[in-house]
Amino acid sequence: MTTPPVTTRRPFGVRLRAAMDEHGPLCVGIDPHRALLAAWDLPVTVAGLEHFAMTCVEAFAARVAVVKPQSAFFEVFGSRGVAVLERVLADLRDAGTMTILDAKRGDIGSTMEAYAQAFLSDDGPGRADALTVSPYLGYGSLRPALDLAAATGRGVFVLALTSNPEGPEVQHACADGRSVAASVVAGAAADNAAAAARGELGHVGLVVGATVGDAVSRLGLDLTASAAPLLAPGLGAQGAGPAHLRAVFGSALGQVLPNVSRSVLSAGPSVTALAGAAAREAEAVRAAVG
């Protein structure tokens, strides 16, 4: 396995906390799926994709804490779509805006290492500030990404309790008295232990949906002690509002990075309208999390 490089970049959790404090705790998605392209009166082509994506970059750069492009909606256009995604990430990076690439990668050994190099190394063509990853080949299978992210001042967000209705079938399942979700949270807590001792957010985040109801408490998950940034999808189109955040996350509310996509993107195609919608969402979640 390749030895991770040493970086002078500030730790991911420190950078994320600063961005959340400055702009409000909000992550805005860039999800150029067919329905939104049509709503913006754009063709379902690479040209339409590029216009949509770069309009979002103009609206969100230096205005929100984090932007999360959904890789699938770029990949569906092939290599030219991936090139647009790389431009989105580069332009947001140049603007000083943090990014989470939503690609949900998960594999073993050299394959996981290759994913890590592609998205989390300093010279990876699709590098972002953080990457979403899937732990369902075992939390330990993510080690190449976990270690490279730590070494380069980047982060990962590990699926823990997702907002889709099929998630509990796997995530709530138990072995030896502990749920799969609890095992994932325990892994994140161990990797974030040094950051927790400093009172900082760690580089291993967790994806916990804002629509999971009482699952966090029912499964006995100590999200606060994990020191994990908590990416919370489910606001807006999936039915959750800012008020749900307090009920779901409790004492871990200060770690929560709510994610919105369609509720902001539907305000397009005007840059001004998109920026305004994002600002309103940021204020709403700031009020909800205090």
Q: Which residues are catalytic?
A: 104
Contacts of 20 (CB under 8 A, 6+ apart): 65, 257
Instruction: Report residue 51 as tokens.
Output: 């216009």
Q: Which residue, chain included where needed, has tokens 């992210």?
A: 149
Residue at 27: amino acid letter = C
How far, in Å, CA of 167 to CA of 83, rounded?
A: 31
Structure tokens at 290: 């205090």
Alpha-carbon distance values, 182 to 43, 161, 175, 178, 208 (Å):
44, 10, 10, 6, 12
In 3D space, the residue among 152, 156, 130, 129 whose CA is nearest the CA of residue 142 turns out to be 156
239: DSSP letter: S
Instruction: Convert 198-214 to b/e letters by CB count within 10 Å (16 or more is b).
Output: eebbbbbbbbbbbbbee
Per-residue tokens: 11: 């730790």
Q: How far apart are CA 71 and CA 111, in angstroms?
A: 18
* C-alpha of 21 from chain center: 17
The dihedral through the CA atoms of 285, 219, 201, 107 has a sign that is negative
User: Within a 13 Å sphere around the CA of 164, how many CA atoms are in the beta-carbon half?
Assistant: 7
Q: Which two tokens stand for residue 35?
A: 């329905």
